[in-house]
Amino acid sequence: MTKKTKRIIVIAVLFAFVVSSLYAQVIISQQKKQSNTQTKTTYRQDSKQSTSSKNNSPDPLIINSEGFITIGVRYLNPIKDDKDNLVFEVFLDNHQIDLSTLNFNGKVLFSTSEGIKVNNAKWWIEGSGHHVMAFIKIPKKINGKNLITPKTKYIQLELQNIGGVKLRIYRWDKKFLN
């Protein structure tokens, strides 16, 4: 075999390697895009991942990565109780828009298993850019009545029309309500 033939074979093998690597990257990229368009809700309720300091219960963080904004919501009361309010810490993450301009007015609905609904939550955003934090506060009592009672099986926070997603539901069951 001549030197010229050996060089051609080496170049052909290297070319095939480069082309197959690029093809693999395209396939991986397409799979990531597909998985990002599907509903992704992750519950961090595994005590190995994180535990709260108040009652050593699982972390009440729920993450939804639908649309072009990933939104994680942590129900803070099991970790650090607020005397007058139910408090939710909201993590927002994206690479397309400045999230500090986001408006939650009319986009937050709180409800309980008993059918109580509250849609006038207080909220504010901290930070600016593509990664911000928001807080949502809802009074523990409405018209003198507790929102959460011993009969409450779950509480739910709905975020509507944020980041290209019509409805995101975050639900915490009884283990987070005591």
Residue ranges making up the domain that contains 15: 1-38
Residues 6+ apart with CB under 8 A from 96: 68, 130
Reading the chain (178 residues) residue by residue, the pLDDT tens digits are: 888 888 888 787 767 666 655 555 555 555 444 444 434 445 444 333 333 334 455 678 999 989 888 999 999 998 888 999 999 999 998 888 878 888 788 889 999 999 999 988 888 888 888 888 989 999 999 888 999 999 999 999 999 998 889 999 999 999 898 7
Task: Quickly list DSSP for 27-81.
Answer: HHHHHHHHHHHS--EEEE--TTT-B-TTT-PBP-EEEE--TTSEEEEEE-TTTS-
User: How confident is the model at residue 108, as a pLDDT?
Assistant: 92
Tell if the pTM clears 0.75, that is, is over it.
no
CA 143 from centroid of its chain's CA atoms: 31
User: How confident is the model at residue 136, as a pLDDT?
Assistant: 93
Are the C-beta atoms of 110 and 160 separated by less than 8 Å?
Answer: no
SS3 assignment, position 100: helix
Six token digits for residue 173: 């069951």
The answer on 68 and 105 residing in a single domain is yes
Residue 95 backbone phi and psi in degrees, to 5: -130, 25
Q: How many domains does the chain have?
A: 2
The answer on 26 and 45 residing in a single domain is no
User: How confident is the model at residue 23, as a pLDDT?
Assistant: 55
The answer on 72 and 26 residing in a single domain is no
Are the C-beta atoms of 88 and 73 separated by less than 8 Å?
Answer: yes
The answer on 105 and 23 residing in a single domain is no
The answer on 144 and 72 residing in a single domain is yes
The answer on 110 and 46 residing in a single domain is yes
